[in-house]
Chains A and B, each alone.
Chain A
């Protein structure tokens, strides 16, 4: 796991208050981990703050898992 993946997992863990090692990267954050849609927005807000990446609205609704977040964040960081 590279640094970005670790950092994103850590951010998600802090926002949803679940230990990082208990988060399955393929689990649906909303259905499996009980994250409500607005807490999801808070995760995106935290990623935005940390990495200064602007995730467009039409991508937000498709992000369901930690791996989805990592993929989008990496794509945005590579595009910088």
Chain B
């Protein structure tokens, strides 16, 4: 098949080099994505889960049909409660294996950073300046048999509409050939909308869709620019989340 990047040549080798996708995983890599606060996590999360479920009863649909790790969980994003809601829907073994990707700007607030690190394994990302660093780290998380949670809108929606997805999620899925599980979260924005400090009572529903096989996208990079393939993969994930609304 003829290679065809924007210049008519295959650029996927450069992407894989930048993502270090063919390099061995450094010793202790997964351990380093976590924080020493993890020793407090089981009790902290158990307490938070009990309180959260009282304020916001949680319905989990489809979590029993999740594939075996590694895979990517990609959801819409309207509230800081989105990731906790998804995490509380996961079976215990998957909770342990899931690493959340979050915007590195949150680390500017030490209070927020502390709670993120206490709550979950996580990777801060700066998708504006150094997207390859985030994607490279996430690639290693997946390659070592773990799962990634990502909110590909990149920011919380203010209207409830699902914003366009950033192509980074497509790059990650395609380069790792990992299945992606589309996840629709409804109601979290009613409990804790953007700009709000105090939660209101409301039900939260988390719907897990059927996993998307991304291997065909990987193959299609031979005939199309890698960036276009990543964008299409991201758009497909968004469409699958929208379908869960119906």
Contact = CB atoms under 8 A, between A and B. Distances in A.
Interface of A: 11, 14-15, 30, 36-39, 41-42, 44-46, 48-50, 57, 60-61
Contacts of A39: 227
A42 B132 contact: no
Contacts of A49: 5, 7, 9, 11, 14
B65 to A, nearest CB: 31
A46 B132 contact: no
B79 to A, nearest CB: 25
Contact of B7 (A11, A38, A44): A11
A48 B127 CA distance: 21
A6 B7 CA distance: 15
Contacts of B129: 37, 61
Contacts of B230: 38
Chain A at the B interface: SS class = helix
B43 interface: no
A45 B11 contact: yes
Given A15-B6, A36-B166, 11 more contacts: A30-B128, A37-B128, A41-B18, A41-B132, A42-B227, A45-B5, A45-B15, A46-B6, A50-B7, A57-B133, A61-B130
Given A46-B5, A57-B18, A38 B11 contact: no
Interface of B: 5-7, 9, 11, 14-15, 18, 127-133, 166-168, 171, 225-227, 230
Contacts of A61: 129-130
A25 to B, nearest CB: 19
Contact of B225 (A11, A42, A48): A42
Contacts of B132: 41, 57, 60
- Greatest chain B CB density within 10 A among A37, A45, A60 is at A45
6 contacts: A11-B7, A38-B166, A38-B227, A39-B227, A42-B5, A49-B11
Contacts of A50: 7
B11 A37 contact: no
A45 B226 contact: yes
A6 to B, nearest CB: 14
By Cβ-Cβ distance, the 5 closest A-B pairs, closest first, are A45-B11, A45-B14, A42-B227, A37-B131, A15-B6
A41 B131 contact: yes
Nearest to A13: B6
Contacts of A37: 127-129, 131
A68 B199 CA distance: 47
Contacts of A41: 14-15, 18, 131-132, 227
A29 to B, nearest CB: 12
Nearest to A14: B6
B14 A48 contact: yes
A36 B129 CA distance: 10
A57 B23 CA distance: 15
Nearest to B3: A49
